[in-house]
Structure 1
């Protein structure tokens, strides 16, 4: 996924009301940008962090700037770009599916997005092919890292995401394939786990879903100021627990 125009750099003043961020650009201009992330953004919303923003060409937009990346401290003392736009993982997965980057999800003739299922829900992707059961694919964004090289999800209580796990389990019970795919929008993590400290119900729900047959996939990304791309799979730390 390439950014259509070069990103603009600035420094964070404050993030507030979940979807707003005051940022001072490198040229000294102070702007309010849209923050496309409803989560807690632990470790990514500290004043002074370097931010990268896209600017919409639409003159009617109330907030022309969108906060896309933040340079956050890593475990090695360096700073790296972290993708915080929760709208991007679905776009990244769509590109990866078309390019065959995710081998576990290859070989489907049809890829549909936002298909109604469950109880008033829509699945991110429905993959279909002759002589194969439908594959219901849910995508979540992960940018939380509290230490070491472990990526986590969620960064706050995620009741809606827990509901999605129950609906994936229901698809498996009907004889379909169901996959929970976590897209890791940072480059300093080599494994993933559900964050039991911040949402114990979701962490337990993910293990329960896996035991019921829901497949758990975790994929890392390349992240740059010009583009973000899904690159390679990383292990789910609780896979053995789920299999026991």
Structure 2
């Protein structure tokens, strides 16, 4: 099966030539050959020299980013994306990376890097760092006047929050001093109450010992008196019995 080169059916229309003084230049593209000039290539078994195909030169518009050739970029052979799509994605990524940053963005980044470079070791929030960031935000608001109302509202909200936190932070030393004085007063009162309670405890313990001794003496005296009373009762009972016997004897003798 023979392969035949296919060309245009008819030559493309040529542009009319203009005068040399005209501002428009003629096209520098080579003319295309007609089908009559192209002869079918016979099939040969030997290795023929590859045909060199001349391509049209690519020209870019003024001001467009310079395109980087992607023929030398290595692609993953196991990627499911076709090589053509891979080249397109790579070209887009390279173009995005080659674009320069806006002047305002670069200026703000340089400003923050210069001002905050000395404090990178300690990222502890401070009024100086806050003032630097506030200045950068004000420059950003001045550069984007269309978004100034929204940016100003956001800045004011953060400013009020920072002022409130700063005011509370200023109150902390006074509150700490007051808390320390209150703690000292409470400790003094607690020490006084503890000493007073200890003294009263000693007095109560002494009174308790005295009361216990008095109670023991009273108990012993009560036991002694109870025994004496029992003895007296026994003696009285015996005396009554003797009296009864005497009375009976007297009655018997009187009869």
TM range, normalised to the smaller chain? under 0.3
TM-score for the superposition, normalised by structure 1: 0.24
Structure having the higher Rg: 2
* Highest RCO, 1 vs 2 (Cα 8 Å, sep ≥ 6): 1
Larger % of helix: which?
Answer: 2
Larger % of strand: which?
Answer: 1
TM-score for the superposition, normalised by structure 2: 0.23
